[in-house]
Structure 1
């Protein structure tokens, strides 16, 4: 049974949805996002992620140690994680203490059914299925996994754009009340990895730190980029950013047109999540 669960979770994590989700995208202003997905200037020292120690997860962390290119810090109001199916009562209390009021689940219905999240007091669970509920042929999928294609689908798929756009609006609304949002997929590395890269880029974090945060999944999960089952490879993340340029022309256009964020949304995200320089 454990092998079946792991295999199904992997398949759901990597599959490109065959069915597009209903469009949730709103018409947006074309005003540019001030940050860019690639920065030629490396930071003096790339900060390490700030871990959230939970017994029942392996890849839970915040962005509290990072700085933007303008030197602003990031408030601990966003947590990225793997699934919460094995958290302990103590873990749940920790998340409650951290102010988590919304848990955004990027997994498919199959994944959620096999390994449902355990409850966190005071938090509501919201399903934002990135893959759109498409069917998966496990045997053929596991024989020919194209991770670069899967990562491009995070940008090109309507269901993925709807899920990520909605997640950013949830973060915007909760951060405005100083509440914390936790988002996750199964392993916290692929769908969660792209979501984190998008959020950090919007906030103005340089590309070297964005990539380091993405690759930190290999450290937290005690693995490497050699295998798609457990690890991540930076080329996959770069495939998503390349798809952004190919499909939308720029990261700005992806945020506004692809994800449906207005200029007001972007400005509010920055105002609520960034710590002003003193």
Structure 2
């Protein structure tokens, strides 16, 4: 089956559409229906104008913690804002350790693997349940985002595709696309200047924090199997997506 690449918006952090890929039944997510991104505050004026005037979002779901939202509040894009924090604990200690060069690569990798397991468990699952309830209300064009648009957002994008019957290899390929999008955007160079990160920081060592890895999403899948015995059971038991809900979600989001 032929697959195309989702639309990527230049000038916005990891902002991309969901259409282009097809599931096992040949359906794709309706164009203009669902989007994902990093923090909108870092978007260029042209990108923000495009979001307001062309994409015309009806709903924005912000997955970030309160302190993140306070540091970089969302600009007005003409949409209803929902603040649904999926990771309750504050991980600023990790950022401070990173800036002070106190983490090696193995510690960074271990942190991220555990982080992706936490996304599967409560209380993160409650936040994701809320988002699926919004999706099932058929609110029109919806964007969900976190800070970089790769972890909390990338996990949710993968779970949405699981619920819609997309192939596991395709889900992983789209998950890993964040690396290419972020690398091409100059996001980390911008972050280094903005956060005044010391020159002695070993970027190779902290690369696991800055990019996504196949093992991260696999750790989430392993946790789903541990909790519920499999992905389908997890979707039903933990996210409220039984057969009827998934059929309705496909009706709302997908087209032939």
Give TM-score, length-normalised by structure 2: 0.81
CA distance in 2, matches of 1:82, 1:218: 13
**TM-fit CA distance, 1:140:** 5.2
Q: How many residues align?
A: 225
The runs of 5 or more residues in structure 1 that have no matched partner are 1-43
Q: Which runs of 5+ in 2 are unaligned?
A: 189-203
Aligned residue in 2 for 1:219: 180
Task: Return the offset for 1:134.
Answer: 4.1
Q: Secondary structure at the match of 1:131?
A: coil
**Residue 185 (structure 1) aligns with:** 146
Structure 1 position 116 matched with structure 2 position 81: no
Residue 127 (structure 1) aligns with: 83
The aligned residue for residue 168 of structure 1 is: 132
Number of the residue aligned with 2:40: 84
Displacement of 1:58 after TM fit?
Answer: 2.9
Q: CA offset at residue 239 of structure 1? A: 0.6
Q: Distance in 1 between matches of 2:30 and 2:123?
A: 29
Q: Which has the higher contact order (CA 8 A, sep 6+)?
A: 1
The alignment's C-alpha RMSD in Å is 2.1
| Partner in structure 2 of residue 49 of structure 1 | 6
3-state SS, counterpart of residue 40 of structure 2: coil
Of residues 18, 22, 26, the one that matches 1:71 is 26
Measure the CA separation in 2 of the matches of 1:153 and 1:135. 13
> Structure 1 residue 263: deviation in Å?
3.5
Are the aligned partners of 1:86 and 1:117 in contact in 2 as well (CA < 8 Å)?
no
Which residue of structure 1 aligns with residue 157 of structure 2? 196
Query: Is the contact made by 2:57 and 2:142 (CA closer than 8 Å) also made in structure 1?
Result: yes
Identify the match of residue 148 of structure 1 among 113, 120, 126. 113
Q: Provide the TM-score with structure 1 as the length reference.
A: 0.75
Of Structure 1 and Structure 2, the greater helix share is in 2
Q: What displacement does 1:89 show?
A: 4.3
Given that 1:107 and 1:130 are in contact with CA atoms closer than 8 Å, whether structure 2 keeps it comes out as yes
